[in-house]
Structure 1
Amino acid sequence: MVKWIKLTVINDNKPNPPLLNDWGWSVLIETDKWVLLYDADTEPRVMENNIKALGIDLNSVDAAFLSHYHADHYGGFRYIGEVRRGLIVYVPERDNVLHRWGLDPVTVSDSREVLEDAVTTGVMSGMGVYEHSLIVRLDGYGSVIVVGCSHPGIDNIVRRSYELLGEVYLLIGGFHGPSRQQLDVVARYSRYVCPAHCSGDDARRYVGVKYRDKYCDVKTGTVINLPIT
């Protein structure tokens, strides 16, 4: 299992000047074993600006992960392809877009390890979208789940993750305007809950008030070091 995880939010809907931002989601996941880029926002220029401003070295990235084929998650891969041609991107369904941009998309359907102690949930469907999420084993604390837009339902994703790897330590990403009932399920399973991107202000407020000890605020440029001390 990985000993530590550092999450750096390259872009979130919530701004944090002077970094650029737009409607989209991208997070760099660093561990003691590997570095992975999860999703790549909408705009190449936002990715390029923020990656440089945050001091991220794309040459250190071992692989990338695309949660689903919506432009606010894959658009910035155009820039990544210019800098890291041939980079493997784990994707939930076959598509030629990333290949045209010089990347190496690898389609995964079932749950499997994509990097050491990093597992895809396997493709789940909802709202007509095929999507997968990433689960990372954090030694002594449980799993860290990173999601894109949670079209299959954030509660369903957390349940799937729990079935695969057990206790959940932290959940971060877009929850797609979840109901309070869904958020209650999420809070029941996870020690920390970090709604971002398409989660919506209502979800942020609800978790922040009802589950204040579990809530973490996320915006463009946020850095979270795990385990939390």
Structure 2
Amino acid sequence: MVKWIRLMVINDNKPNPPLLNDWGWSIFIETDKWILLYDADTEPRIMENNIKALGIDLNRVNAAFLSHYHADHYGGFKYIGKVRKGLTVYVPEVDNILRKWDLNPITVNDSREILEDAVTTGIMSGMGVYEHSLIVKLSGYGSVVVVGCSHPGIDKIVKRSHELLGDIYLVIGGFHGPSRQQLDIVARYSRYVCPAHCSGDEARHYMSVHYRDKYCDVRTGTVINLPIT
């Protein structure tokens, strides 16, 4: 199991000047064992600007992860391909766009370990979209679940993650305008809940009011060091 995790939000819908931002999602995940880029926003120029501003060295990245093929999650991979040709990107379905950008997409259908103590949920479908999410096992605390847009349902993703790796420590990413019932389920399963991207202001507000001790505010440039002390 990894001993520590550092989450750095490269882009989120919520701005944080002087960093650039737009509608999209990208998060840099660093552990004591490996480094992974999760999703890559919409715009290559925003990825380039924020990666440089945040001091991220792409040459240290071991692999990348694409949650699903929507432009606000894969558009910035065009820049990544220029800097890290041949970088492996774990994807939920075949598409030639990443190959066109000199990346190496690897299709993952079922749940499997992609890096040490890092597991994909395997493909889940919802709203006509194939999507997978990342689960990382944090020693002594449970798992950290990173999601893209949660088209299959954030509640279903959390339940699948719990079935695969047990207790959940933190969930972060786009929850896709979840209902209060879905948020209640997520809060029941996870110690910390960090709605971002497409979660919506209503979801953020609901969590901040009803689950204040679990809620964490996320925006472009946010850094979360785990375990939280």
TM class by smaller structure:
over 0.9
The answer on 1:131 being equivalent to 2:103 is: no
Matched residue, 2:52: 52
Per the TM alignment, residue 207 of structure 1 is displaced from its structure 2 partner at its CA by 0.4
Q: What secondary structure, in the 3-state scheme, does the structure 1 residue paired with 2:182 have?
A: helix
Q: Measure, in 2, the Cα distance between the counterparts of 1:192 and 1:208.
A: 11
The answer on 1:18 being equivalent to 2:35 is: no
Per the TM alignment, residue 124 of structure 1 is displaced from its structure 2 partner at its CA by 0.1
Task: Give the partner amino acid of 2:95.
Answer: D
Matched residue, 1:89: 89
Q: Measure, in 2, the Cα distance between the counterparts of 1:15 and 1:121.
A: 29
Matched residue, 1:6: 6
Task: Give the partner amino acid of 1:60.
Answer: R
The answer on 1:151 being equivalent to 2:159 is: no
Matched residue, 1:197: 197
Q: Measure, in 1, the Cα distance between the counterparts of 2:141 and 2:221.
A: 25
The answer on 1:120 being equivalent to 2:120 is: yes
Q: What secondary structure, in the 3-state scheme, does the structure 1 residue paired with 2:205 have?
A: helix
Post-superposition CA distance 1:116-159 (Å, at most 9, x none): 00000000000000000000000000000000000000000000
Q: What secondary structure, in the 3-state scheme, does the structure 2 residue paired with 1:220 have?
A: coil
Q: What secondary structure, in the 3-state scheme, does the structure 2 residue paired with 1:52 have?
A: helix
Per the TM alignment, residue 221 of structure 1 is displaced from its structure 2 partner at its CA by 0.1
Per the TM alignment, residue 220 of structure 1 is displaced from its structure 2 partner at its CA by 0.1
Q: Measure, in 1, the Cα distance between the counterparts of 2:168 and 2:101.
A: 35
Give the count of matched residue pairs.
229
Task: Give the partner amino acid of 1:195.
Answer: P
Post-superposition CA distance 1:138-184 (Å, at most 9, x none): 00000000000000000000000000000000000000000000000
Task: Give the partner amino acid of 1:70.
Answer: H
Structure 2 unaligned spans of 5+: none
Task: Give the partner amino acid of 2:38.
Answer: Y
Post-superposition CA distance 1:38-76 (Å, at most 9, x none): 000000000000000000000000000000000000000
Task: Give the partner amino acid of 2:184.
Answer: D
Q: Measure, in 2, the Cα distance between the counterparts of 1:77 and 1:28.
A: 13
Taking structure 1 as the reference length, the TM-score comes to 1.00
The answer on 1:175 being equivalent to 2:175 is: yes
Q: Percent identity, aligned pairs only?
A: 83
Which stretches of structure 1, 4 residues or more, deviate above 3 A after TM superposition?
none
Taking structure 2 as the reference length, the TM-score comes to 1.00
Q: Measure, in 2, the Cα distance between the counterparts of 1:208 and 1:90.
A: 33
Per the TM alignment, residue 208 of structure 1 is displaced from its structure 2 partner at its CA by 0.4
Q: What secondary structure, in the 3-state scheme, does the structure 2 residue paired with 1:193 have?
A: strand
Per the TM alignment, residue 99 of structure 1 is displaced from its structure 2 partner at its CA by 0.3
Per the TM alignment, residue 81 of structure 1 is displaced from its structure 2 partner at its CA by 0.1
Task: Give the partner amino acid of 2:3.
Answer: K
Q: What secondary structure, in the 3-state scheme, does the structure 1 residue paired with 2:89 have?
A: strand
Q: Measure, in 2, the Cα distance between the counterparts of 1:99 and 1:116.
A: 25
Q: Measure, in 2, the Cα distance between the counterparts of 1:102 and 1:8.
A: 25
Post-superposition CA distance 1:19-52 (Å, at most 9, x none): 0000000000000000000000000000000000
Structure 1 unaligned spans of 5+: none
Q: Measure, in 2, the Cα distance between the counterparts of 1:177 and 1:149.
A: 9
